[in-house]
Structure 1
Amino acid sequence: MLSLVALAIGAFAATNIDNLFVLLAFVAEAHGSKRRVIVGQYAGSLALIAVAIGLAEMLRSLPHGYVGVLGVLPIAVGLAKAWARFGPRRASEADSADASRLAQAGSSWWTVAGVAIANGSDNIAVYVPLYAGHSRIDCVTISLVFVAMIGIWCAGAVWLVNHPLLGAPIRRYGTALLPLVLLVIGVSVIMQNDTLRVLFGI
């Protein structure tokens, strides 16, 4: 159980590091009224979770070992994140500019939800194999962890707005660890489903 909870926390954190800084911008812009930002973040994140669960259910008809092939998705996302983090700086600068532009679009709840969904391709790529590779009871636990993490993310954003100096080290070390966390999740999905044995007899 603890390992499953840790895996779910890692999956959420790894796919929402970038969204945290967009959320910070929304919270800072909201000033005294942050309820709409929190509602919007929950709405967008829950929509992504629902889509991931739906896709995972569609994939349960695949033979057991073949579901693990989906572990390639978080691995690919992790490699892409590593390239963006450690490769040419133009890519990360462009991402930061896009995030800032989106954050400045407004602070209504549906704007926040829309940004969370638009920025959720990584979430879908990681959540789908995670859900598909576990039993439905485990998926309930994963979903509860995700819901709790959304609240922690919102609370963390509110707290960090009041302590802006802490944002810099989080951005620096969080994005550096992100690719590694995604790679671990991808390998975990592949190993838990005996995919190597099914495909290659290993």
Structure 2
Amino acid sequence: MGLVSSTLQAVGLFLVTNIDDIIVLSLFFARGAGQRGTTTRIVAGQYLGFGGILLASVAVTLGAGFFLPDGAIPYFGLIPLLLGGYAAWQVWRNGDQDDDTLADKPVSALTVAAVTFANGGDNIGVYVPVFLAVGTSTLVAYCVVFLALVAVLVLAARFVATRKPIAEVLERWEHILFPLVLIALGLVILIEGGAFGL
């Protein structure tokens, strides 16, 4: 498999498995609007979370599957579900003051990482068979391309979140959309993965 062909396949695979992250990342950008260091924390969190996904995928590919059994992956849905539940509780508790109170809390790189990793169960399921089918040099090329595209993904989400009409909608509704999206994401991961016999 040639370098150009491998690169194009890696780009396609990354886009198919990560395009949904633009919505979640856009909400993180909306939540951190006007706060210093938001972009840095989101980039760091996205790299941490995606690095975990990539590490788990490579570990399973290389035969270390006992570290992350397939049956455990759907339970990662509990992470965004709990984070979304907490955010919803904060909105409910603070009532009309939610914008002022929550706006003072910066976006956490660890929260972004946790949501990214939890949303990556399907990525692991897709990456492992692909990684098993290619040689070591192609696997390394895939990883390099994926890591380069994480920055592009974050920039795309930032671009979307800062477009005036979208930014206005996100600014007005972010405090409701953020918990709803996380709760929905958690439920989808749990249900599609068959966690708790669902």
TM, length-normalised to structure 1: 0.56
Q: Is the Cα–Cα contact under 8 Å of residues 68 and 133 in structure 1 kept in the other structure?
A: no
Deviations 1:33-55 (A, max 9, x none): xxx86566445423432233113
Question: Structure 1 residue runs of 4+, over 6 Å off?
Answer: 1-4, 91-96
Q: Is the Cα–Cα contact under 8 Å of residues 77 and 122 in structure 1 kept in the other structure?
A: yes
| Superposed counterparts of 1:41-56, under 5 Å | 41-56=42-57
Q: Provide the residue aligned with 1:179 in structure 2.
A: 183
Q: Is 1:130 equivalent to 2:110 in the alignment? A: no
Q: Is 1:8 equivalent to 2:18 in the alignment? A: yes
Aligned residues: 170
Q: Evaluate the alpha carbon distance shift between residue 183 and residue 122 of structure 1 in structure 2; reply closer, same or farther with a 3 A threshold.
A: same
Q: Evaluate the alpha carbon distance shift between residue 38 and residue 102 of structure 1 in structure 2; reply closer, same or farther with a 3 A threshold.
A: closer
Residue 120 of structure 1 aligns to a residue whose secondary structure is: helix
Paired letter, 1:25: G
Paired letter, 2:85: W
Q: Which is worse superposed, 171-180 or 142-151? A: 142-151
- Which blocks of at least 5 consecutive residues in structure 1 are unaligned? 30-35, 104-114
Q: Is 1:69 equivalent to 2:78 in the alignment? A: no
Looking at structure 2, the residues matched to 122 and 62 of structure 1 have their Cα atoms a distance apart, in angstroms, of: 22
Q: Evaluate the alpha carbon distance shift between residue 154 and residue 163 of structure 1 in structure 2; reply closer, same or farther with a 3 A threshold.
A: closer
How far apart are 1:155 and its partner, in Å?
0.9
How far apart are 1:85 and its partner, in Å?
5.1
How far apart are 1:57 and its partner, in Å?
2.7
Question: How big is the alpha-carbon RMSD for the aligned residues of Structure 1 and Structure 2?
Answer: 4.6
How far apart are 1:125 and its partner, in Å?
2.8
Identity of paired residues, percent? 10
Q: Evaluate the alpha carbon distance shift between residue 24 and residue 130 of structure 1 in structure 2; reply closer, same or farther with a 3 A threshold.
A: same
Q: Is the Cα–Cα contact under 8 Å of residues 41 and 116 in structure 1 kept in the other structure?
A: yes
Q: Evaluate the alpha carbon distance shift between residue 165 and residue 126 of structure 1 in structure 2; reply closer, same or farther with a 3 A threshold.
A: closer
How far apart are 1:135 and its partner, in Å?
2.8
Q: Is the Cα–Cα contact under 8 Å of residues 32 and 103 in structure 2 kept in the other structure?
A: no
How far apart are 1:24 and its partner, in Å?
1.8
1:150 to 130, 147, 154: 154
Q: Is the Cα–Cα contact under 8 Å of residues 22 and 100 in structure 1 kept in the other structure?
A: no
Looking at structure 2, the residues matched to 59 and 95 of structure 1 have their Cα atoms a distance apart, in angstroms, of: 42
Paired letter, 1:126: N
Q: Is the Cα–Cα contact under 8 Å of residues 22 and 99 in structure 1 kept in the other structure?
A: yes
- Which blocks of at least 5 consecutive residues in structure 2 are unaligned? 1-8, 132-138
Q: Is the Cα–Cα contact under 8 Å of residues 71 and 186 in structure 1 kept in the other structure?
A: yes
Paired letter, 1:149: L
